[in-house]
Amino acid sequence: MPGFDLKREICLKYASVGRRSEITDAQHLSHSTVIDMNRLLTLTIVLMLPVLARSAEPAAAAVPEAAGCWSGYWISCDTGHKGPLSAKICKISDTCYEAHFRGRFALVIPFRYTATMQVVSAEGDKLILSSSRRLPLMGTFTMTATVTATEFRAAYTSRNDHGEFVMQRQ
């Protein structure tokens, strides 16, 4: 076997030499370079694993932005009264919005209401906002809203009423 004879000859040559110092500098350099390249490749793979694993994870749902124009209706759960409602919401900071509501009561009586709404939490694709304000004749008017990319839905309470604001993004 031609391959067997070559291997045997190499083994005998190194066995007869008996010392590593007899290996030429070129052979040693070549072996050292291969080891260094393997170490570098291993280190690169180890350092890149967290980055590759993170990019394979599904992207987290974006928290919706509440700022913008909204329109819909309000409804009282106590009396059944309802009417049109619109809002322009402006972002004051990452934790605060100002909402300017306009609507009608009994189809002909207009009202305006401005609320400073605090961000309570951001849960996946929902933003939770809350406000509380003392109003003449109504007592403390509190509201907790859930905002998605397309819907603003708020539960409100006051001294003599509770109900809901339901709006869609314009």
Q: Which CATH architecture has domain 68-169?
A: Beta Barrel (2.40)
Query: pTM of the full predicted structure?
Result: 0.65
Tell me: the pLDDT tens digits for 114-142?
Answer: 999 999 999 889 999 999 999 888 899 99
pLDDT, position 53:
59
pLDDT, position 167:
98
Within the chain, all domains assigned CATH 2.40.128.20 are found at 68-169
pLDDT, position 106:
87
Tell me: the pLDDT tens digits for 47-90?
Answer: 666 665 565 555 566 788 999 999 999 999 999 999 999 999 99
Tokens of 20: 């590593």
Tokens of 163: 């109900």
The conformation of residue 150, written as its DSSP 8-state character, comes to: S
Tell me: the pLDDT tens digits for 24-44?
Answer: 555 555 556 656 666 766 666
Q: Is 13 helix (H, G, I), strand (E, B) or coil?
A: helix
- Amino acid identity for residue 104 in this structure: R
Q: Is the pLDDT of residue 111 over 70?
A: yes
**Residue 66 near residue 147, CB atoms below 8 Å:** yes
d(CA 131, CA 144): 7
pLDDT, position 136:
87
- Amino acid identity for residue 150 in this structure: T
Choice between 41 and 102, residue whose per-residue pLDDT is larger? 102
